Chains A and B, each alone.
Chain A
Amino acid sequence: MTIKNKACIVGIGSTEFSRVSGRSEIHMAVDAAMAACHDAGLKPEQIDGAVKFGTAGQNCTEFTTETDVARCLGIRNLRYFVEAPWGGGACCATVLHAALAVANGMADYVLCFRSLKPASGTVRYGRPTRVPIDAHWSYTMPFGFASPTSWVAMITRRWMHETGATNDQLGWVAIVCRENAVRNPRAIFYGRPMTMEDYYRSPMLCDPFRMNDTCLENDGAVALIVTTPERAKHLRQKPAYIIGASEATAWDSYCMTSYYRDYIGIQEMEEAGKELWKQTGLTPKNMDVVQFYDAFTSLVPMQMEALGFVKVGEGGPFCEGGDRIRPTGELPINTSGGMLSEAYIHGMNMIAEGVRQIRGTAITQIKNVEHVLVTGGLGVPTSTLILGQGR
């Protein structure tokens, strides 16, 4: 028994993505939720379940609660609600939990949402503006080791050493994502191309990462609505079926600094992938387009290796020159620009793009899409999702 074809995403909604939203996180969450209801053809009060982002070691909590959203949308009561933890690792997990709920009759229409205000709010993700209080951080913070960029830079340097991957190859990931964003009016980097020269000119933040290896810091919100295929028949959009989904921790997982195991890689994604392929009976070859969680450039080739798209050591060379990961290539990635160049909404904008690829409404639309893979954040316990055309 699996979750395959028992639930689908029927609505996607988002705010504009900007450097200064001029409104609160709650306001943006409500805007995205209303947009998702309109997209689906649902009355907001029909929502009876919600999945929000939880905490990641008290660092990046979703401040908007499901009750904040319910009281604005006029929802009388929610009969199912849950949090998916671990920051960006949660994105696909929100859909997983929503699918389980609707498939088992715990709710009819579940709203998954993420609202973020790191660009103009008080919590900046790239900087230690809040002091985390869990004791785990005592092994990092007193040494000035205090930014997500640095934590992923540490595993990236080792991965580059083990596999021979180069900065050029990371540059190509950034460039291809930027090309996709340049065509996408929603993207922060719409109409603003980047060359390899630009990539190398961007300032070094934490060696081996330059500014252009890191994702955007922006305001915005994305909401998704999940229901059953039966209910979807009466709604406005072509459903994006949930073919499979997985969550995973790995051996000795920590929040961002899983440094105490044999190899400091992204074993969480290896585990999530094993579960996903076993659960669905599909393989990387069945994926027509992938939205790889790209908070940092290196995570794209690292995930290609972890998920079995290529052998270990081939992820970097696969990105070289960009042709194989472009929309015309054998493995199109991050077609909206990803979080490197569209917006950073903890992966929820990547799921929305996955839905558009299934509907056939993406700006950079891949032809004949049967399956889309979306992946969750790394350095943390993570999640994955395969969307498909259904039966």
Chain B
Amino acid sequence: MALALNKRYLQYFYEPVAESFEDGFWQAIKQKRLVFQRCKNCKEFLHPPRPMCYKCHSYDLEWVESTGKGKIYSWVVFTREVHPLYRVPFEVVLVDMEEKGVRFISNMAEGKPEDLHFGMPVEVVFMPINDEWSLPWFRPVK
């Protein structure tokens, strides 16, 4: 269960693209690391990344390693195919990360849709997509 890619359609994978200020996020993903942007000045997390801290207007921003842990905030279950790469049924989860104020959209690597619940603890696991990309998916914390 969880998301099983139909690799026949791998050519249709939507390759992430990045503006200069968010390139660090995606470069880390390519190295199977989940990082979030944080303001060096006021320590506010900024996700998705921005060129400037909205809180103190500092440009001095850094990439901070995530604990990879969070809790399910909401989710949907695709039951009708909209993209051939993604076999239905599969879940898209919105995870409240341990990093304050950071939410992350992702997929489930393990488990069943009916087992998902609000506040469910999950942890990141990198799933290889193609030669270039692995993506941070989630699995239930055992």
- Whether the Cβ atoms of B18 and A143 lie closer than 8 Å is no
Name the B residues within 8 Å of A140 (CB-CB): 105
Task: Give complex CA distance A135, B113 in Å.
Answer: 29
Task: Give complex CA distance A157, B93 in Å.
Answer: 11
- Whether the Cβ atoms of A143 and B17 lie closer than 8 Å is no
Does B83 reach chain A (CB closer than 8 Å)? Answer: yes
Partner of A145, one of B18, B79, B105, B133: B105
**Count of chain A residues with a beta carbon within 8 Å of a chain B beta carbon:** 35
Name the B residues within 8 Å of A139 (CB-CB): 48, 105
Contact mask for chain B residues 19-38; partner A; CB cutoff 8 A; 1 contact, 0 none:
10010001000000000000
- Looking at the assembled complex, report how far the CB atom of A123 sits from the nearest CB atom of chain B, in whole angstroms: 14
- Whether the Cβ atoms of B92 and A158 lie closer than 8 Å is no
CB nearest to B92 among chain A residues: A145
CB nearest to A142 among chain B residues: B14
- Whether the Cβ atoms of B80 and A204 lie closer than 8 Å is yes
- Looking at the assembled complex, report how far the CB atom of A363 sits from the nearest CB atom of chain B, in whole angstroms: 33
- Whether the Cβ atoms of A153 and B94 lie closer than 8 Å is no
Task: Give complex CA distance A243, B30 in Å.
Answer: 54
Task: Give complex CA distance A150, B88 in Å.
Answer: 13
Majority-rule SS of A interface residues: mixed
Q: Which of A107-145 contact B (CB under 8 A)?
A: 126-128, 131, 133, 135-145
Does A264 reach chain B (CB closer than 8 Å)? Answer: yes
- Looking at the assembled complex, report how far the CB atom of A205 sits from the nearest CB atom of chain B, in whole angstroms: 5
Does A330 reach chain B (CB closer than 8 Å)? Answer: no
- Whether the Cβ atoms of A137 and B82 lie closer than 8 Å is no
- Looking at the assembled complex, report how far the CB atom of A161 sits from the nearest CB atom of chain B, in whole angstroms: 6
- Whether the Cβ atoms of B48 and A161 lie closer than 8 Å is no
Chain B CB within 10 A, most for which of A128, A142, A206, A259: A142
- Whether the Cβ atoms of B16 and A150 lie closer than 8 Å is no
Does B73 reach chain A (CB closer than 8 Å)? Answer: yes
- Whether the Cβ atoms of B78 and A144 lie closer than 8 Å is yes
Given A143-B92, A150-B92, A155-B74: A138 and B18 within 8 A (CB)?
Answer: yes
Partner of A138, one of B16, B82, B103: B16
- Whether the Cβ atoms of A205 and B79 lie closer than 8 Å is yes
- Whether the Cβ atoms of B74 and A157 lie closer than 8 Å is yes
- Looking at the assembled complex, report how far the CB atom of A201 sits from the nearest CB atom of chain B, in whole angstroms: 14
Task: Give complex CA distance A138, B23 in Å.
Answer: 11
- Whether the Cβ atoms of A208 and B76 lie closer than 8 Å is yes
- Whether the Cβ atoms of A144 and B75 lie closer than 8 Å is no
Name the B residues within 8 Å of A150 (CB-CB): 76, 78, 82, 92
- Whether the Cβ atoms of B80 and A206 lie closer than 8 Å is yes
Given A135-B17, A158-B73, A260-B47: A143 and B107 within 8 A (CB)?
Answer: yes
Partner of B74, one of A127, A133, A146, A154: A154
Given A138-B17, A144-B90, A161-B118: A257 and B78 within 8 A (CB)?
Answer: no
Does B125 reach chain A (CB closer than 8 Å)? Answer: no
Name the A residues within 8 Å of B83 (CB-CB): 128, 144, 146
- Whether the Cβ atoms of B85 and A144 lie closer than 8 Å is yes
- Looking at the assembled complex, report how far the CB atom of B30 sits from the nearest CB atom of chain A, in whole angstroms: 12
Given A203-B80, A206-B80: A136 and B48 within 8 A (CB)?
Answer: yes
Does B42 reach chain A (CB closer than 8 Å)? Answer: no
Name the B residues within 8 Å of A142 (CB-CB): 13-16, 129, 133, 135
Name the A residues within 8 Å of B39 (CB-CB): none
Does A207 reach chain B (CB closer than 8 Å)? Answer: yes
Name the A residues within 8 Å of B113 (CB-CB): 207
- Whether the Cβ atoms of A147 and B94 lie closer than 8 Å is no
Does B77 reach chain A (CB closer than 8 Å)? Answer: yes
Q: Which of B52-102 contact A (CB under 8 A)?
A: 73-80, 82-83, 85-86, 90, 92, 94, 101-102
Task: Give complex CA distance A248, B79 in Å.
Answer: 33
Sample 14 A-B pairs with CB under 8 A, ordered by A number. A127-B82, A131-B14, A135-B18, A135-B22, A142-B133, A142-B135, A143-B107, A150-B92, A154-B76, A158-B73, A204-B79, A206-B78, A208-B76, A260-B47
- B residues apposed to A, CB below 8 Å: 3, 13-19, 22, 26, 47-48, 73-80, 82-83, 85-86, 90, 92, 94, 101-103, 105-107, 113, 118, 129, 133, 135
Given contacts A126-B82, A144-B107, 11 further A-B contacts (CB under 8 A): A128-B83, A135-B18, A136-B48, A139-B48, A142-B133, A150-B92, A203-B79, A205-B80, A259-B94, A259-B103, A264-B73
